[in-house]
Amino acid sequence: RVDPLEDYDLSKPLKSNGLRQGLTAYGDPHFSLFLRKAFIKAAGYGEDALSRPVIGIINTGSGFNPCHANVPQLLEAVKRGVQLNGGLPIEFPTISLHESFASPTSMYLRNLLSIDTEEMIKAQPLDACIMIGGCDKTVPAQIMGGISANKPILPLVTGPMMPGSYRGIRIGACTDCRNNWAAYRAGVIDIEDIAALNDELAPTSGTCGVMGTASTMACITAALGLMPLRGASAPAVSAARLRVAEETGKNAVAAVSNALHPQTILTKESFLNAITVLQAIGGSTNGVVHLMAMVNRHPNVAGSITLDTFDEIGRKTPLLVDLKPSGDNYMSDFHNAGGMTALLQTLRPLLFLSAQTITGQSLGEVLDAAVAHDFPYSQEIIRPLSNPLYPCSSIVVLRGNLSPGGAVIKASASKDRRLLNHVGPAVVFSDTADLARRIDDSELPVTADSVLVLKGIGPIGHPGMPEAGLIPIPRKLGAAGVQDMLRLSDGRMSGTAGGTIVLHISPESIVSGSVFGVVRDGDLIKCDVENRVLHLDVSDDEIARRIAESIKDSSTKGAAKPKRGYRGLYERSVNQAEHGVDFDFLTASGPA
């Protein structure tokens, strides 16, 4: 029963409905509510609607974002789910980031999206928030912001695109974009083929259809307990995706009455489960950065999980999911094999089953409810623990004098496993422009044993830590049949890429005192994945001499002029890869 007069009765305290909380303050809380209701009624809502739990729904649709092109249909299904369960859905926008259309990088803007998300969730009179997103940086940005805002949050990913086909062979964004481009560079396929392939690589709306960053983050979100398990893999264009959306609407209304705040339901164990899944799916190395950023937003978890936690979990977690780039298949195959439900059933002995989920059930209870099914439906796509695709440590953390803050390699995506234990002379590129200028120079002194080193693509260096870590094989070596080389950088790599590639070297080259910053042509570099070592074979004295020289050089050039706007804020505040490339003032250990 709605009594509209009750809201304005000055003798009674305000009720706890979101629209009624003392948000926009005009000094007098009753008057503030009176004004908010007057304005929201301009959208056509009646008293009954406004007395319901208000479920905000973030719409990240944009003409520049084909990964989110199904958002209109998802919104309709979400709203149905909210309304059927007695809530009032109210949609609002935040900025939208697509990987390919966010310059200089989408990573540069991830923290901006996370601030947008956090502040709009906090600012508006909503009781819970469904966050629709999907492309690589959107989901982590939304969860980071949502953890900080700490109202009930329900991520809903847009879902993976379907694979395409060219000349009878299945292809998909974007592992096959890279494979085919490399084949074209090496002269294996011609210009007509590469042009025709371009039409088929991304054949539907949705996120990249392999185990790239978007799929990785979708699986991680489900493993954290924030999203229905089927929500990780149901294709963007499927009816299943719409039903997940409807269910999310229902869960949101229940999350309000059960007060399921992210800082309460997410515990250290939830994140350990997510890291186990990251390792078992052969997930993107970007998942490491994003998970560290989420962890460091959470006041009760920050500090208890570090880069080394990923390595420790990796040692006991086999790679089970046979998807590109580590394996051969696509997200639609993973979905058809039982998706996250089947994977988590398989991983049961490695999981913390008491971790909570957004439905109020524990992860164990969610899995028990699904136990009647004979998962997985395909042991080729989701392998049993006894027959993994890769025995353990899909993602490995390397340390040594070259990366005191850590470095990451996706060992399972190596194309030439001999390179996982390799010593070779460095061929150094000072930045991406230098790389573009010289990599295909026929005079470049490089052999298949060389170690390609790309500096200047760290969080601050580029800025935005571009996905340029997949240094191309020099054309003359590619033409001679070389398919993989040991490559090192302080940047990132797309989750859809493969090769023996060391990433996220910290501290990045541009930081004063960085050892990586003083690597020179011809220096011997040792990478020993088995022993977790990344070593520059140069004496400590010589390293110290080079660092002193570079500090002197930069001080004679004088300090760079501070930059204006977001760029200035970014450069002043961004932390290094092992902390999540977040802004220091947004972390749980930052300012109160």
Distance in angstroms (rounded) separating the CA atoms of residues 394 and 194:
31
67 binds, among Mg ion, ligand FES, none (CB under 5 to 8 A by kind): ligand FES
Q: 409 contacts which partner out of Mg ion, ligand FES, none, CB within 5 to 8 A by kind? A: none
In terms of CB distance, is 19 or 97 closer to ligand FES?
97
Nearer to Mg ion, 49 or 102 (CB): 102
For residue 92, what are the β-bridge partners? 58
Which of residues 117 and 207 has its CB atom nearest to ligand FES in the complex? 207
Q: Which partner in ligand FES, Mg ion, none is near 135 (CB below 5 to 8 A by kind)?
A: ligand FES
* Distance in Å, CB of 212 to ligand FES, minimum: 6
Contact set with ligand FES (CB under 6 A): 67, 98-100, 135-136, 173, 207-208, 212, 214
Which of the ranges 102-110, 210-218, 343-351, 414-422 carries the binding residues for Mg ion, by CB under 5 A? 210-218
Looking at the Cβ atoms of 136 and 582, the one nearer to Mg ion is 136
Q: Which is nearer to ligand FES, 177 or 427 (CB)?
A: 177
E strand or H helix that includes residue 502? strand 501-506
Q: DSSP string of 281-314?
A: TT--THHHHHHHHHHHH-TTTTTS--HHHHHHHH
For ligand FES, the closer of residues 144 and 149 by Cβ is: 144
- Which CB sits closer to ligand FES, 173 or 411? 173
Angle at 228 between CA 227 and CA 231, to 5 degrees: 90
285 near Mg ion, rule: CB under 5 A: no
Using rule CB under 5 A, residue 118 touches Mg ion: no
Shortest distance, CB of residue 184 to ligand FES, whole angstroms?
Answer: 20
Q: Residue 433 class from Cβ within 10 Å (0-12 exposed, 13-18 middle, 19+ buried)?
A: exposed
Contact 395, 314 (CB under 8 A): yes
Name the minimum Å distance from CB 575 to ligand FES.
25
Here the tokens at position 273 are 């489960």
- Closest to ligand FES by CB, 96 vs 506, is 96
Map the footprint of Mg ion across residues 290-319, applying CB under 5 A: none
Distance CA 587, CA 592 (A): 9
Strand partners, 90: 56
Q: Which stretch binds Mg ion (CB under 5 A): 57-65, 132-140, 550-558, 559-567?
A: 132-140
Q: Give the nearer residue to ligand FES in terms of CB position, either 98 or 298.
A: 98
- What CA dihedral angle connects 168, 172, 178 and 181, to 10 degrees? 40
Is the separation of the CB atoms in 426 and 525 below 8 Å? Answer: yes
Query: Residue 181: exposed, middle, or buried by beta-carbon count in 10 A (0-12, 13-18, 19+)?
Result: middle
Comparison of 97 and 471: residue with beta carbon closer to ligand FES: 97
Task: Report the nearest approach of ligand FES to the CB of residue 63 (Å).
Answer: 14
Interface stretch with Mg ion, choices 126-134, 338-346, 469-477, 493-501 (CB under 5 A): 493-501
Least distance between Mg ion and beta carbon 467 (Å) = 7
Q: How many CB atoms lie within 10 A of CB 17?
A: 18
Q: Looking at 494, 500, 506, 509, which residue binds Mg ion (CB under 5 A)?
A: 494
Q: What is the dihedral of CA 470, 475, 481, 485, to 10 degrees?
A: -30
Q: Smallest gap, in angstroms, from Cβ of residue 134 to Mg ion?
A: 11
Region of residue 110 (phi > 0: left; psi between -120 and 50: alpha; otherwise: beta): alpha
What residues form DSSP beta bridges with 270?
none
Q: Does 136 contact Mg ion by CB under 5 A? A: yes
Is residue 213 part of the contact set for Mg ion (CB under 5 A)?
yes
Taking CA atoms, 193 is separated from 44, 167, 183, 210, 406, in Å, by 54, 10, 11, 22, 41
CB of 97 to ligand FES, least distance (A): 9
Select 50 or 497, whichever has its Cβ closest to ligand FES: 497
If contact means CB under 5 to 8 A according to the sort of partner, which of ligand FES, Mg ion, none does residue 494 touch? Mg ion
CB of 147 to ligand FES, least distance (A): 22
List, as one string, the DSSP characters of 57-91: EEE---TT-GGGTTHHHHHHHHHHHHHHTT-EEEE
State in angstroms the smallest separation of the CB of 401 from ligand FES.
35
Q: How far apart are CA 343 and CA 490, in angstroms?
A: 32
Any contact of residue 215 with Mg ion (CB under 5 A)?
no
Tokens, residue 563: 């930059």
Residue 107 beta carbon to ligand FES: minimum distance, rounded to whole angstroms: 13
Reading the block at residue 507, the tokens are 């501290």
* Closest listed residue to residue 350, CA positions, set 309, 302, 375, 313: 313
Which spans of this chain sit near Mg ion (rule: CB under 5 A)? 136, 212-213, 494
